A = this chain, B = another copy of it.
Amino acid sequence: MDYTPYFSKNAMRMKRSEIRELLKLVNQPEMISFAGGLPAPDVFPVEELKEIMNEVMNREGRKALQYGPTEGDPRLKEELIKLMAKEGISATPDNILIVTASQQGLDLLGKVFIDRKDTVIMESPTYVGAIQAFNSYSAHMETVECDDDGMIPEALDDKLRYLFERGIKPKFIYLIPDFQNPSGVTLPRERREEILAIAEKYKMIVVEDTPYRQLRFEGSPEPALKSLDKNGRVISLFTFSKIFLPGFRLGWIVAPSKIIEKLVMAKQSADLCTSPFVQAVTYEFLKRGLLDKQITLIIKEYRKKRDHMLAMLDKYMPKLKGLKWTKPKGGLFLWVTLPEYMNSRELFMRAVEKKVAFVVGSAFHPHEKCENALRMNFSYSSFEQIEEGVKRFAQALKDYDAEIKRKESTVITP
């Protein structure tokens, strides 16, 4: 039976993500993968959680296994309010919605803001899951150029002026200000203020996605956009996936209460509530003050891994004009820009043959640009794997370069 006539227009736009398709090639023995966005599982606080789960089951098992309120566990919200106060974000319980991790936050934002063909503004490159979520509501995605300091305010202003002149009023600006996925770069304070001023000028809503924000290896934190928000323009997405663990599927949204009200209704129809059990366990973890300890542990581990990956890149990578990579001050990823004559998908096929994988740059652009770039994850692999993987990667790159140059010289020779 052909189901095509039954599918919605939105469904017809959905396609398997490029990451997924290419990652099928990665499931091979001996493969070293810098492709995923996975946290290092060896720092998960397994022993503490065993004990907490036991306590939660003893103390409130019957409640934790029952349905809970759509808005989330009020005790967890109180802990989150304290957590955010440290970031200069003041929130009341009606500014918070507990979500089934940030991906659900993105989906709910799509549901609440995006009509078919509405425009949203994103960084180039940007998070593949945001592209997928907004695409599933048939959004038109416009990108703004970024450099080593993130989104360029002038480019944003130009883009908005261009769109407004054509009668297009985007629904929001989506950005990942800290240790961006995929680029690893961070927006400095000055740019944060400029971007908020531009948002004010064009009366735009700003969505800040902050999964890596607390994973800073050095320097002092830039202020969260939400902490600079004077007029209720900023919606912030937070998640426990990278600072605690992803397997609970737990995050939260901070927004003006009128927006939270709509998001609550959207969540009610999306999954009724996030697991009260995982909320109770996470509440207990926070109440015991274990999150700070956990974040310190993760930072220590990831900083070493980032240093190691950067050192290995310096050691093994060929010197090619245009070849460069970002030096992230936190997070999980770095972004490699290849010489312009290269295509990262071509390189990917060669790298996979050598048993090393990354994600091609075009996956991070709504219109599949960034073809001469790629993302590497440094949080998941072991130190040995990082060295061996970078070595293989560098070899694949050298071979690919030689191949291109051979072909070019073949063409030139009559």
**Residues in A lying within 8 Å of B, measured CB to CB:** 1, 3, 6-11, 14-17, 20, 36, 38-39, 41-42, 44, 46, 49-50, 53-54, 57-58, 61-68, 100-101, 103-104, 106-107, 111-116, 118, 129, 132-133, 135-137, 171-172, 205, 231-233, 241, 245-249, 256, 258-259, 262, 265-266, 268-278
Contacts and interface: CB of A to CB of B under 8 A. Distances in A.
A15 B265 contact: yes
A10 B171 CA distance: 14
B61 A271 contact: no
Contacts of A133: 269-270
Given A57-B46, A266-B136, A269-B136, A39 B66 contact: yes
A46 B116 CA distance: 46
A263 to B, nearest CB: 9
A309 to B, nearest CB: 21
A93 to B, nearest CB: 16
Contacts of A53: 50, 53-54, 57
Contact of A100 (B100, B113, B259): B100
19 contacts: A1-B256, A8-B112, A8-B114, A8-B118, A14-B265, A36-B67, A39-B66, A46-B57, A46-B65, A50-B57, A50-B58, A53-B57, A65-B245, A129-B268, A136-B269, A247-B277, A249-B273, A249-B274, A271-B271
B256 A275 contact: no
Contacts of A62: 41-42, 44, 46
A231 B129 CA distance: 34
Given A11-B112, A129-B269, A270-B270, 8 more contacts: A7-B262, A50-B57, A66-B245, A66-B247, A103-B271, A106-B269, A136-B265, A275-B278
Contact of A136 (B1, B103, B111): B111
A272 B103 contact: yes
A269 B103 CA distance: 7
A231 B14 CA distance: 25
A67 B39 CA distance: 9
A355 B188 CA distance: 58
